[in-house]
Amino acid sequence: MRRLFLFILAVCFVLSSCAGPGHYKPSSGRGPVILMLSGKTGPGLYKTCALRLADSGYYVLLFDGNDFPINQTDLCQAKIRTIIKDNIPSSFDLSGQAAVIGYSLGGAAALTCAAGMKGEIAAVIAYYPATSMIADHDACVERFNVPVTVLQGEEDRYFDCCRIEVIRQMSAKAVREGRDVQLFVYPQAGHGFNLGPMKDKELDRDSWHKTLETLKKHLLRQQTF
């Protein structure tokens, strides 16, 4: 099964590496803005997620998670600001806030960078974040100042990038410090449980519901763009 999973990811990498960043607009052409950060395989594999959010009324900017300097917080946050500013139509009101959703490698960027951007980012959602890429877990948590939701498979052993033990420790520290962090763990689930041909429909349905609930709670109450 592990070999099959790696083979499928390799195929997805080849297919997705040709797909660049994209804008996914709701039918109205306007809506609350979400910056989506892909995993290491690039944006192509996440197009379906972006389209689903657009169908739900959000204006989605999908970018490659590889392009964000995870452990250079100032540079990473500056890149997030620039992307949002440069990729939103001039007719949009930029006085509101955006949300950031990151997957795997993009999830690490969401935690280290976007989760510390109070007043600019309304909420962060991280799917199976690549915590092995974060140089200092404690320092990362101490920068959290926006609501954070993490969706994690308990049996995620994919290259040891996203082990449950690490994100549990980070979440526990955040809760002890009074930070707004929710960790949802899916027993027996591995990496990428909501993506591609290995997608678990039940887990996808539940994690999608939690994603929409988080956005509704923290983003829709903000001024929309």
Residue 153 and residue 142: Cα distance in Å, rounded?
Answer: 24
pLDDT range class, residue 221, cuts 50, 70, 90: low
- pLDDT at residue 94, rounded to an integer: 55
Least confident of 88-97, 150-159, 167-176: 88-97
Give the containing element (helix H, strand E) for 101.
strand 98-103
The answer on pLDDT for 6 being more than 50 is no
- pLDDT at residue 24, rounded to an integer: 95
In this prediction, residues 64-72 reach a mean pLDDT of 97
Question: Count of alpha carbons within 13 Å of 133, Cβ hemisphere only?
Answer: 26
Residue range 8-35, pLDDT digits in tens: 444 444 333 333 469 999 998 889 999 9
Domain boundaries, the chain: 32-218
In this prediction, residues 101-118 reach a mean pLDDT of 98
- pLDDT at residue 196, rounded to an integer: 82
Residue 74 and residue 86: Cα distance in Å, rounded?
Answer: 18
pLDDT range class, residue 215, cuts 50, 70, 90: very high
Residue 125: alpha-carbon gap to chain centroid: 5
The answer on pLDDT for 2 being more than 70 is no
In this prediction, residues 176-191 reach a mean pLDDT of 97
Query: Do residues 155 and 125 lie in contact, with contact meaning Cβ atoms separated by under 8 Å?
Result: no
CATH code linked to domain 32-218: 3.40.50.1820
In this prediction, residues 104-132 reach a mean pLDDT of 97
Largest separation between any pair of C-alpha atoms in the chain:
49
In this prediction, residues 98-121 reach a mean pLDDT of 97
- pLDDT at residue 97, rounded to an integer: 86
B/e letters for 36-69, b = 16+ CB within 10 Å, e = fewer, are bbbbbbbbbbbbebbebbbebbbbbbbbbbbebe
In this prediction, residues 192-212 reach a mean pLDDT of 93
- pLDDT at residue 96, rounded to an integer: 65
Average pLDDT in the chain = 89
